[in-house]
Structure 1
Amino acid sequence: MNYSYVSHLYCPKCSKTYSAEEENHLCICGSPLLVDYNIYDLSGQLTQQDLVQRAPDLWRYHELLPVQNEDNVISLGEGMTPLVHFPSLGKDMGIPALLMKDEGVIPTGAFKARGAAVGVSKAKELDVKELAMPTNGNAGAAWSLYAARAQMSSTIIMPIDAPAITRNECALSGANLFLVNGLISDAGKIVAEAVKEKGMYDVSTLKEPYRIEGKKTMGLEIAEQLNWQLPDVILYPTGGGVGLIGIYKALRELQQLGWLSPEQKMPRLVAVQSEGCAPIVEAWKQGKKESSFWEASETVAFGINVPKAIGDFLVLDAVYKTAGCAIAVTDEELLEEQQKIARHEGAFVCPEGAASFLAARKLREDNWIKENEQVVVLNTGAGIKYPDTVDFDIPILEPGDSI
């Protein structure tokens, strides 16, 4: 059986196709490219039972990943993160079947490791020597560390106020790290110029087709962990939106494989943003297919501070086609929710994850989420990667003091 059943790349806007065996980035029309697979051929070769004996990492789904030669796989054991029931928080919200998909326990401490693992592996297969990207922090950390493991050079540009821990991860990996006094959109312009001048491999969000393939494994895992029964709602913190696009793509591919029963409804997908940067939410409210650039964006949930996503039309399409929604929350409330999660369930989630839990709470209050529905919230990273978002006055004792 083939290691991968990858077929080709295609443009979701103009339908033009490209080879998966050559370097390709955006379509000639400017759209991101997506990966297509020979799913009809695979459906007769792979069964759900075949997965049981495989290693508990994302490469267990290698037939639905784009790396054609197993020797090119670069891995740190990423994938198969816990799907944890939150009964106490669920009771507090009025959602008894509340689950967290915890990406904070993955290598590099964030879900970005999934995209980096698959993206770097495919870059190795394409004989890439140096990659470049703009980042809000976690993606740069993941891609620089995986590039180091692949003996590949990396150039990373991030906003000057990105979390210090992610900056250190990049520097430790040996990446060529630069800080820009601006937003990720400003970093993106610098990367685009460097790619043009120096011929580096551009791995900016959705400017290469393979990051999304790593991210889609979150959807494959959720389906497998729930014994191929899909939840009613999946909430996802949305900046570039690659994970949400990927989860939708994964569930569509499972439908095509015949691994989901025909009567199963697709989960309603929820794109969660901050009120300080909510271009997807604004577009969804207006029924638009694309978003507008969000001026002066700012939020403590740094990973979703993306004023304009290149794949916004794909995010909105996934939300519309699953009867989902887009919702924005305030920084003040999401930090309060972060504390509630820790005190109810003992989980220290990242601000972006807290935003998604808060969104679930608000959607339950509005009865958009019903009490009997099963809800999966993506926590996309470890809270300890954002120490500056937590600040308490802690009493200091002298030796001999009593409490």
Structure 2
Amino acid sequence: MTAPHWTLQCSACGSAAPLARAGLCPACSQPLFARYPNVPKSTTLDARWDMWRYRPLMPLAAGESPVTLGEGLTPLIESTSLAADVGVARLWIKDEAQNPTASFKARGMSAAVTRARAEGYPGLVVPTAGNAGAALAAYGAAAGMPVKVFAPRTTPRPILDTIDAFGADLVRIDGHIGDAGKLALAHAAETGFFAISTLREPYRVEGMKTMGFEMAEQLGWRVPDVVVYPTGGGEGTVGIWKALEELAAGGWLASERVQPRYVVAQAAGCAPIARAHAAGLDRAEPWVDPVTYAAGLRVPSPLGDRVLLRILRETNGVSGTAGEEDIREWTRRLAEATGIDAAPEGGCALVVLRDAVRAGRIAADSEVVVYNTGSGASYRA
């Protein structure tokens, strides 16, 4: 068999790691990243119409077919009215609700399940605040692999119903996603299932980075001034940042700018990254008693905290929080202004952007891409 065209390297200490049964760095227990030879812009992208058209920069072995449901290639929709509302020159919404299972999580699960199937894992397990569980249930079904999902009882009912519909073994728990994570890891240790937790293995973020590939391509291989991402576990922000680094290394970018300024948007009731960033720290302390309507932001102790805080430092980034009333109001505004059935995470992103512009932390002449990470329908019982 042809050797894989990627290697694994620690995001923190730089140590190389074996491909087989990859998890965290064996040396320092921080997330691993897949690394690729530079792929020049002369490379022809695949003709297929999903995220796997970027396969030269993806963890897919020669001759291998991905586990796919047609994820990716979501629209980038400009809104002049929202740009005026928040006070910037131009604003686009990257609508991840149009993925299979109605969120950006489909991308990561397609990549991770592809690798899990190739490595012969007996099954898949995930802790979830909602959308990750629905996505894994769908992609596990597509791969013919059993799936175990641990979810807080506070997860929106439509998402739990979706997990059930795909035949996953769903365990509802009292507590938050951190509690679900402990149960998922214990189940993986007992059964040999692949634990697909955010950044605990290296492949979910490889699916997420296709959001960055697409954004750059949709803008004519340019990078916007600012990217706003509603952040729970952080794999979306990390993925976009990683994608742009890889594009720059291959000479794909037409703009001199390689990275935008990143805005990490969190709910006021669960904001470990925003709190750590404001304090100038390089890691985040767990958030006690996380509470927010936006279930995807209810992540009290993100494993990717060090990477996220590094990205904010290196890009002169901004972090901020939104209260519950503002999240609901701006989710409604997003929907009414664009026709996008926005999740509350998308509303949170707009609130934090508005506040950053008002405070002079984001310039009024900025071109901004805001990610709506899921569907409002997932929150309606």
Alpha-carbon distance in structure 2 between the residues aligned to 1:152 and 1:184: 23
Matched, 1:304 2:297: yes
Alpha-carbon distance in structure 1 between the residues aligned to 2:372 and 2:3: 29
Alpha-carbon distance in structure 1 between the residues aligned to 2:3 and 2:234: 25
Alpha-carbon distance in structure 2 between the residues aligned to 1:239 and 1:357: 16
Q: Would the aligned equivalents of 2:220 and 2:254 in 1 still touch at CA under 8 Å?
A: no
SS of the aligned residue for 2:6 comes to strand
Matched, 1:169 2:162: yes
Please give the per-residue CA displacement for 1:63-100, whole angstroms capped at 9, x wherever unaligned. Answer: 11111144331111111100000111212222231100
Alpha-carbon distance in structure 1 between the residues aligned to 2:251 and 2:215: 16
Alpha-carbon distance in structure 2 between the residues aligned to 1:226 and 1:202: 35
Match of 1:190 in 2: 183
- Point out 4+ residue stretches in structure 1 off by more than 4 angstroms: 2-5
Match of 2:222 in 1: 229
Aligned pairs for 1:81-96 within 5 A: 81-96=74-89
Distance 1:3 1:342, change over 3 A: farther
Aligned partner letter, 1:339: R
Deviation at 1:293, TM superposition (A): 0.6
Match of 1:11 in 2: 10
Alpha-carbon distance in structure 2 between the residues aligned to 1:169 and 1:262: 41
Match of 1:397 in 2: none
Deviation at 1:4, TM superposition (A): 9.7
Q: Would the aligned equivalents of 1:4 and 1:65 in 2 still touch at CA under 8 Å?
A: no
Aligned pairs for 1:70-109 within 5 A: 70-109=63-102
Match of 2:33 in 1: 34
Work out which of the residue numbers 34, 53, 62 in structure 2 matches 1:60: 53
Match of 1:400 in 2: none
Structure 1 unaligned regions, length at least 5: 389-403
Work out which of the residue numbers 104, 127, 131 in structure 2 matches 1:111: 104
Match of 1:360 in 2: 353
TM-score (norm 2): 0.96
Which is further off, 260-269 or 58-67? 260-269
Alpha-carbon distance in structure 1 between the residues aligned to 2:63 and 2:333: 43
Aligned partner letter, 2:93: M
Match of 1:25 in 2: 23
Aligned partner letter, 2:91: L
Deviation at 1:38, TM superposition (A): 1.4
Alpha-carbon distance in structure 2 between the residues aligned to 1:13 and 1:71: 30
The percentage of counterpart residues that share the same residue type is 38
Aligned partner letter, 1:164: R
Match of 1:121 in 2: 114
Which is further off, 25-34 or 267-276? 25-34
Alpha-carbon distance in structure 2 between the residues aligned to 1:14 and 1:272: 27
Distance 1:98 1:314, change over 3 A: same
Q: Would the aligned equivalents of 2:4 and 2:60 in 1 still touch at CA under 8 Å?
A: no
Alpha-carbon distance in structure 2 between the residues aligned to 1:67 and 1:153: 22
Work out which of the residue numbers 116, 121, 134 in structure 2 matches 1:141: 134
Deviation at 1:363, TM superposition (A): 1.4
Aligned partner letter, 1:95: V
Q: Would the aligned equivalents of 1:272 and 1:328 in 2 still touch at CA under 8 Å?
A: yes
Aligned partner letter, 1:290: R
Which is further off, 282-291 or 87-96? 87-96
Deviation at 1:174, TM superposition (A): 1.3
Aligned partner letter, 1:19: P
Structure 2 unaligned regions, length at least 5: none
Matched, 1:324 2:317: yes
Alpha-carbon distance in structure 1 between the residues aligned to 2:131 and 2:362: 30
CA RMSD of aligned residues (A): 1.7
Alpha-carbon distance in structure 2 between the residues aligned to 1:270 and 1:353: 13
Q: Would the aligned equivalents of 1:159 and 1:180 in 2 still touch at CA under 8 Å?
A: yes
Alpha-carbon distance in structure 2 between the residues aligned to 1:193 and 1:346: 42
Matched, 1:338 2:331: yes
Deviation at 1:262, TM superposition (A): 7.1
Deviation at 1:197, TM superposition (A): 1.9
Work out which of the residue numbers 262, 265, 274 in structure 2 matches 1:272: 265
TM-score (norm 1): 0.91
Q: Would the aligned equivalents of 2:266 and 2:297 in 1 still touch at CA under 8 Å?
A: yes
